Chain A
């Protein structure tokens, strides 16, 4: 159990049988009055963020959540197969469980898979990935403007807006949290 005074961003708690992670925690206390904690919590199963108010000093359950470092191996039908880098155990996740994250999954990539009560529920990607552009309109040589963008299709099927001077077949660096183009890959 966690007491509300242990609350902080990122702590994983369980309420009404649902695992949540704390996004924001605010301690409120009128000078002479009852203290309470106003928290924003993110449902780990569906990603929804809700607000709750708890009496300070109240205890809540710890979520039975663990994180394992796993390597993404390959797709199998509409499943994605991962392997624990420690014990080589394999786990499958559905496209639905991955949400938008499938867009940035490259074979061999190391990710953090989050398990709730022994079942994989979601994963955390590296913040930045490098991938190849499989299709985009030809580049305009000499156009170095970075504020005009065009769509490009990645090897995973994801769409990224890239500057005009980028050409098909190039490797670029993408921020997986925003889906935005960062720069040309260095290597």
Chain B
């Protein structure tokens, strides 16, 4: 175990430089509640419920921050704790520190430019490379993620002398789950050995809260990878209330089919989408940024106290 000094200094320095950068860039620091009535509605993120009907510990400040944007806050950022149940490992903690920011008037390319600038200035990282999700699958695995079928999936894993996990076989398994497995097993470990990588243009069924590109139909979403770590996730934000409600309903349907509880829809957020300005936003795990700075492969080594 490392002595107590380096990670305390690294974290304090990172936060100070971040706030300085954001102030210069004209983003307002905000603080929203950690205890919320509506948790983020995701197929694979479990919020901690405080009572049987909520409230919940927030798993991301996204919904509250979008309501501020809709009220005319202008570009904003927040550094806060987020909580996700059952996430524990060398790169995961159920409680972690998230940086989340929204740039009003930016589209996906604009958000990538802003994020690259931030990474170079605040984290001292090299300039990021940009590569499309589909291109990565072609380059690393020789297949098209949109048309991947179960036979290809099996074949790919067997060719590596491994056996496909049984929970990813069968007609009920979603394309998304198989792609996520292939990505995190065979692509992510190789991403960003030299410089950070922005992976953009996710398949439309992985859009979450991002709008779809009217030309290609792909999600206006990108993720940040560096040193084989997934660090951030950004969207050119969807503003269509009906479309967002549809996607939320689909998520709840998936959760119910799996035997998980449906989560309450955030009606105030859905109403706010009507007045949301064009904006793009990104969430980044700061503990993992510190892992890179400290050269550590265990997230617990970035914490002040680690019991």
Residues of A within 8 A of B (CB): 5, 26-36, 51-58
Having A32-B45, A32-B233, one finds 8 other A-B pairs with CB under 8 Å, namely A5-B88, A26-B89, A26-B90, A27-B87, A27-B89, A30-B180, A32-B42, A33-B44
* Contact present for A27 and B90 (CB under 8 Å): yes
Contact of B208 among A32, A51, A52 (CB under 8 A): A32
26 contacts between A and B (CB under 8 A): A5-B88, A26-B89, A26-B90, A27-B88, A27-B90, A29-B89, A30-B184, A30-B188, A31-B233, A32-B43, A32-B45, A32-B180, A32-B206, A33-B44, A33-B176, A33-B177, A34-B181, A35-B86, A36-B167, A36-B181, A51-B162, A53-B165, A54-B165, A54-B167, A55-B165, A56-B86
Question: A30: which B residues are within 8 A, CB to CB?
Answer: 180, 183-184, 188, 230
Q: How far is the CA of A174 from the CA of B208 in the complex (A)?
A: 60
- Is B92 interfacial (CB-CB < 8 Å)? yes
Contact mask for chain B residues 79-91; partner A; CB cutoff 8 A; 1 contact, 0 none: 0000000111111
Q: Given A34-B44, A51-B162, A28 and B184 touching (CB < 8 A)?
A: yes
Q: How far is the CA of A90 from the CA of B233 in the complex (A)?
A: 62
* Contact present for A27 and B181 (CB under 8 Å): no
Contact mask for chain B residues 6-47; partner A; CB cutoff 8 A; 1 contact, 0 none: 000000000000000000000000000000000000111100
Q: Given A5-B88, A26-B90, A33-B177, A55 and B184 touching (CB < 8 A)?
A: no
- Is B301 interfacial (CB-CB < 8 Å)? no
- Is B62 interfacial (CB-CB < 8 Å)? no
3 closest Cβ contacts across the A-B interface? Answer: A27-B89, A33-B180, A53-B165
Q: How far is the CA of A27 from the CA of B183 in the complex (A)?
A: 15
Q: How far is the CA of A82 from the CA of B44 in the complex (A)?
A: 51
Question: B184: which A residues are within 8 A, CB to CB?
Answer: 28-30, 33
* Contact present for B165 and A5 (CB under 8 Å): no
Distance (whole angstroms) from the CB of A26 to the closest CB of chain B: 7
Question: B208: which A residues are within 8 A, CB to CB?
Answer: 32
Question: B44: which A residues are within 8 A, CB to CB?
Answer: 29, 32-35
Question: A51: which B residues are within 8 A, CB to CB?
Answer: 162
Question: B167: which A residues are within 8 A, CB to CB?
Answer: 34, 36, 54-55, 58
- Is B116 interfacial (CB-CB < 8 Å)? no
Question: A28: which B residues are within 8 A, CB to CB?
Answer: 89, 184-185
Q: How far is the CA of A43 from the CA of B208 in the complex (A)?
A: 42
- Is B223 interfacial (CB-CB < 8 Å)? yes
Q: How far is the CA of A56 from the CA of B183 in the complex (A)?
A: 17
Q: Given A35-B44, A54-B165, A5 and B223 touching (CB < 8 A)?
A: no
Distance (whole angstroms) from the CB of B30 to the closest CB of chain A: 22
